[in-house]
Structure 1
Amino acid sequence: MNLDITPYQSDWRDEWDEFVLKESVNGTVFHTRNFLSYHPDDRFEDTSIIVCDGDTIACVVPACKDDHGSFSHAGSSYGGPVVHPDYYRVKRLSKIVDSILDHYDDGFEMRVAPSIFGRRLNDPIVYMVGRTHRVVRELSVYKDLRVNDLLESFRSSRTRTTVRSAFEEGFVAEPTNDVSDYQAFYEILEDNLAYHGVTPTHTLEELIDLKDRLDSRQTLVVGRDAEGHLVSGTWLVKASDTAWHNFYIAKDYDQGGHEATPCVLYRSMTLAKETGSHYLNFGICTEDGGKTMNIGLFDFKESLGGETINRYKLLLDE
């Protein structure tokens, strides 16, 4: 195996994205240039690389410059090496990982996706990089969609009853790509996050841009009460063929009742399952870099039949 590392160039964009989404064993939409390019050109200094073995792309690594060297990737939910299936074997993979760390002169950190997003577990990458890096664990919750009845798989009988009653009484949860719905949802989201003193990761303009560039790989699921008012919603991204990722959950607390969020998440599950995906990721429920657990959030997500899984950050020693 004769590895050659080349810095990413923009004219390789299509080939990069084709490799990530159709060839690799662990690529997600968050590793694609299409996703990363929603950021303005001057927001990050790109340090991405392509690792080739002769004429074969063995691996690509999205990365940008940061205070420690390079991070994979500060403008994305997940990063790390995206690997060709023929090279996802310990002997070959270890050489690839070593060559990546050498290329970045050991000044390289990453956040890797939970294994539900790939066709192979990310344990080898975590172990190999973890020999020289500090492994930080953040606990996430996901829903396994491979059940006969999604609603019956909810652990809370009270929530099951609430969802059934809400739909019988005229509550509607549905996917939408109408810009006005994104705008209404974003207002609710801003209000929700303002209560905690934070703002959405994306601006409304960025969210609309991502809507257009991701097209069918994203959708907004909204909840409307019996009078047709938009009272809740969640934005979903089809991160890979195996899993959708839940980015935001928001509810109008003035108009939306207890049923609003469970109904929207239930519809999100059915939508993801209908596309052939196995999982819906609800996101992390830990705070302060994984040091503390939000027990209330865990309890809610687990009541919907959620299971826990680690998300890893591989960082240089402080």
Structure 2
Amino acid sequence: MRARFFQADDALRWDDFCARCHGATFLHSYRFLSYHGDRFADRSIIIEDGEDWLGVIPAARHPFDEDVVVSHPGVTYGGMLHDGRLRGVQMIAALDAAAGLWRSAGFKQLRYKCVPHIYQAAPAQDDLYALFRVGAVRYRCDLSSCIDLRHRLPVSGRRLRAQKKASRAGILVTRGNERLPEFWAVLEENLLRKHSAKPVHTLDEIEMLAERFPDRIRLMAATLNGNVEAGIVLFLSETVAHAQYIASSEPGYEVNALDAVFEESIEQSRMAGKRFFDFGISTEDDGRVLNEGLNQFKNEFGAGGVVYEFYQWDLRGNDNGAE
């Protein structure tokens, strides 16, 4: 077993390998990661046995700290991706091989974004055990709200009343990316007004990604009198429909337009055979602050908690406080 860095001519094989991995989604494909262009210095790793690929780790240098490598700064979750052959001691050996290569490239710390279990086609958390064994420590834990579409929890009376209000107001829910520009205007205004922030993706970027992945990126929009007043951009993996972006205008809030969008999105995800509907996290400051109102709103649709875990590993040795 040995580790080597990803090269540009590995791209097609990388995507083919990720398509077979238990914990990979389209976010880990080179077709997705490459949209960043030159924004990140890629340090992705391939684990090999001779010419045979055993695993891959999408990774890049931290954009603000050249001593840190992250798996991957451009996606929500990353980690060691494999097709079932990196179990137990093999996973420990694979992570150790990757650490040695990053260390030789001058990195002092790895920040590791674990793939939440709901995104895994089969149980694939050997990496969590391996991180414990090598002395990595959890430095961040986010709380997301998630519906198990086979065993949905009860929907609150408040959400049921809100859905009826949206229906009486004449809210219509449409599916299709052709209205992304209208929704993006709502999203940008919403983030600026509430958080003085901008979306992670620009409109050009999300339209490019939607064109690359027409079956994986989908806008669900709520219209009132023909105008887009609320919506959700869904990122669709094999097992999960994830609400990547959520926004409503003030007129949309007045008639509970988001309730109509969520309910339609949840039902369509169930009918499409997804196992989970993931609303996304309700935490801030690396998980130390919980937006209780937002968390409650999401849970009232029949959701429960799923965590997104982040670990850091001192690549110089076991001096990070773990025992």
Q: Against the structure 1 CA distance between its residues 293 and 255, is the aligned structure 2 distance closer, same or farther, given a 3 Å change threshold?
A: closer
Residues 22 and 124 in structure 2, CA contact (< 8 A), matched pair in contact too: no
Q: Against the structure 1 CA distance between its residues 103 and 43, is the aligned structure 2 distance closer, same or farther, given a 3 Å change threshold?
A: same
Quote the residue 1:143 is aligned against: 147
Quote the residue 1:231 is aligned against: 229
Quote the residue 2:135 is aligned against: 132
1:17 to 2, 11, 15: 15
Q: Give the Cα separation in 1 of the matches to 2:51 and 2:272.
A: 34
Quote the residue 1:39 is aligned against: 36
Q: After superposition, give the CA deviation of every residue in 1:142-172 in whole Å (9 maximum; x if it has no partner).
A: 111114xx6xx54312312331453366321
The 5-angstrom pairing of residues 1-318 of structure 1 reads 3-21=1-19, 23-40=20-37, 42-66=38-62, 67=65, 68-87=67-86, 89-105=87-103, 107-130=109-132, 131-135=134-138, 136-147=140-151, 153-167=153-167, 170-178=170-178, 181-195=179-193, 196-225=195-224, 227-238=225-236, 240-316=237-313, 317=320
Residues 126 and 312 in structure 1, CA contact (< 8 A), matched pair in contact too: no
Structure 1 residue 133, shift from structure 2 partner: 2.0
Q: Against the structure 1 CA distance between its residues 256 and 297, is the aligned structure 2 distance closer, same or farther, given a 3 Å change threshold?
A: closer
Q: Give the Cα separation in 2 of the matches to 1:104 and 1:157.
A: 52
Structure 1 residue 54, shift from structure 2 partner: 2.8
Residues 141 and 308 in structure 2, CA contact (< 8 A), matched pair in contact too: yes
Q: Give the Cα separation in 2 of the matches to 1:125 and 1:157.
A: 41
Q: Give the Cα separation in 2 of the matches to 1:111 and 1:45.
A: 17
Q: Give the Cα separation in 1 of the matches to 2:70 and 2:146.
A: 25
Q: Give the Cα separation in 1 of the matches to 2:268 and 2:51.
A: 39
Residues 36 and 75 in structure 1, CA contact (< 8 A), matched pair in contact too: yes
Number of positions where the alignment pairs a residue of Structure 1 with one of Structure 2 = 305
Q: Against the structure 1 CA distance between its residues 126 and 258, is the aligned structure 2 distance closer, same or farther, given a 3 Å change threshold?
A: farther
Indicate the larger mover: 116-125 or 261-270: 116-125
Q: Give the Cα separation in 1 of the matches to 2:142 and 2:150.
A: 24
Residues 61 and 82 in structure 1, CA contact (< 8 A), matched pair in contact too: yes
Backbone CA RMSD of aligned residues: 1.9
Q: After superposition, give the CA deviation of every residue in 1:211-250 in whole Å (9 maximum; x if it has no partner).
A: 111111110000112x222110010111x31112211100
Amino acid at match of 2:61: K
Q: After superposition, give the CA deviation of every residue in 1:159-200 in whole Å (9 maximum; x if it has no partner).
A: 12331453366321121121xx11110111111111211111
Q: Give the Cα separation in 1 of the matches to 2:217 and 2:94.
A: 32
Q: Give the Cα separation in 1 of the matches to 2:128 and 2:135.
A: 10
Q: Give the Cα separation in 2 of the matches to 1:257 and 1:62.
A: 42
Q: Give the Cα separation in 2 of the matches to 1:145 and 1:30.
A: 22
Residues 61 and 79 in structure 1, CA contact (< 8 A), matched pair in contact too: yes
Indicate the larger mover: 244-253 or 113-122: 113-122
Q: After superposition, give the CA deviation of every residue in 1:99-153 in whole Å (9 maximum; x if it has no partner).
A: 2222222632221221100023454312322442220211111111114xx6xx5
Amino acid at match of 1:84: D
Residues 57 and 84 in structure 1, CA contact (< 8 A), matched pair in contact too: no
Amino acid at match of 1:191: E
Structure 1 residue 79, shift from structure 2 partner: 1.1
Amino acid at match of 2:76: S
Q: After superposition, give the CA deviation of every residue in 1:249-295 in whole Å (9 maximum; x if it has no partner).
A: 00011344342111111111122222211011111111101111110
Taking only the aligned residue pairs, the percentage that are identical comes to 29
Q: Against the structure 1 CA distance between its residues 255 and 167, is the aligned structure 2 distance closer, same or farther, given a 3 Å change threshold?
A: closer
Please list every run of 5 or more consecutive structure 2 residues that lacks an aligned counterpart in the other structure: 314-319
Structure 1 residue 39, shift from structure 2 partner: 0.9
Q: Look up the SS of the partner of 1:219 in the other structure.
A: strand
Q: Give the Cα separation in 1 of the matches to 2:128 and 2:259.
A: 34
Q: Give the Cα separation in 1 of the matches to 2:285 and 2:123.
A: 26
Q: Give the Cα separation in 2 of the matches to 1:24 and 1:32.
A: 11
TM-score, reference length from structure 2: 0.88
TM-score, reference length from structure 1: 0.90
Q: Against the structure 1 CA distance between its residues 120 and 255, is the aligned structure 2 distance closer, same or farther, given a 3 Å change threshold?
A: closer
Q: After superposition, give the CA deviation of every residue in 1:48-73 in whole Å (9 maximum; x if it has no partner).
A: 11111233211011111122331110
Amino acid at match of 1:278: R
Q: Give the Cα separation in 1 of the matches to 2:23 and 2:84.
A: 9
